[in-house]
Chain A
């Protein structure tokens, strides 16, 4: 369900929640299309989140209380804006820390030199 131009889906799998939570932490409230576009823009198109992966994740995060929604009506269209709840703020920080630690461990494990900038 993940499309990424440079990275394999195995690498991206498991980080989508972290990406979404961290993005909302930075941006405040966002709607689905906006999230996909922002990720594409920030990564220079290296990572493109598919709709098939994004919406199930957003619904799951909303159900677990990490996200809250606000609806805006554009004629017959309904636009749902997602924002972090208090619990979501904490989870976002935890997820980012966890991922950073994981990446450091991977760097160490693979014995890469950080100054090469290819990690």
Chain B
């Protein structure tokens, strides 16, 4: 039996690479196989190169690269089925989680948010990306692949925006608005004009385009369904009204302070009210300056602490002991819109002034 030398192995290696066998593991297999055939099935005196030329054609029909292509196809085919499996599982999970989440949300049961988020993320990060990959493997035209994948990417942005909106996370509006505008004004026309010329797809294209425009339009108007301009103007009016009343009352209280005896309770209430008002103004300044209600939780927390101390102290004060200030609105201030948050703050400010006024008038009457 002849032995193949290292130099001959190197030659086979280079030749197989040149013939398109790029997968190293496959090349190693073929080198060993060719060497085995030459060693076992050739004469000792036969020229190596002639022998190699004789053996090689039994590995293919037309060219050696076929074996590389066949391997690639089999490996990709396997991935294709794994991907389809993951897509099916993520699809079922998405439907299940979204339905359960919607049910929990509708009945105000715990776990709604996390269930909807998991459903949304399964849809956006598993189902849609795999769908894009599978679509890219299809035998459709390049234009169809690009248009379809683009549509799915835009859907991913819109769904992510909706999840952010449900969770009150920042950036939700940008994702939803930009996603919907691009979808309706850019994607649908591109979809329409790339398909309308095909007679077999004409009817479906028209129906799908109309449905997508209607869906995009309805979605866009839903995003803007916060409240009407009239409602907003009334909220602003109410806020100013509350604030002006508070200012007038505080001024009036300051006058009364001069007429009542400055005992410990009076001094204490004055100090507590001043402190709470000061912290309240800091929060108002932040909202006015930043034009948003989140991002300054420490200032709101300072105000809540100050009001807790206030509530504790007035519990022993005659006439206003039961008029504790409700801080529930302040605790969710970062989730309220600008107008409502200003109303909550103005209401707290007015209650502080009313309590102070009631207490001072009582002091005045007993003087």
Residues of A within 8 A of B (CB): 1, 31-33, 36, 50-53, 55-60, 63-64, 71, 74-80
Contact = CB atoms under 8 A, between A and B. Distances in A.
B26 A55 contact: yes
A63 B75 contact: yes
Interface in B54-76: 58-61, 66-67, 70-71, 73-75
B36 interface: yes
A74 to B, nearest CB: 8
Contacts of A32: 29, 32-33
A74 B4 CA distance: 10
B32 A80 contact: yes
A78 B13 CA distance: 11
7 A-B pairs with the lowest CB-CB distances in the bound complex, closest first: A33-B36, A60-B74, A56-B71, A78-B28, A56-B70, A76-B9, A76-B6
B83 interface: no
B25 interface: yes
Nearest to B73: A56
A62 to B, nearest CB: 8
Contacts of A52: 59-61, 66-67, 70
A33 B75 contact: no
B28 A60 contact: no
A33 B33 CA distance: 5
Contacts of B102: none
Given A51-B58, A52-B66, A60-B78, A33 B32 contact: yes
Contacts of A1: 61, 66, 70
Interface of B: 4-6, 9-10, 13, 23, 25-26, 28-33, 35-37, 58-61, 66-67, 70-71, 73-75, 77-78
Contacts of B73: 56
Contact of A56 (B5, B32, B74): B74
A75 B31 CA distance: 12
16 contacts: A33-B37, A36-B33, A50-B59, A52-B70, A55-B67, A59-B26, A60-B71, A60-B74, A60-B75, A74-B32, A75-B9, A76-B6, A76-B9, A76-B13, A80-B28, A80-B29
A77 B74 contact: no
B75 A75 contact: no
B101 to A, nearest CB: 35
Contacts of B58: 50-51
Contact of A77 (B23, B32, B70): B32
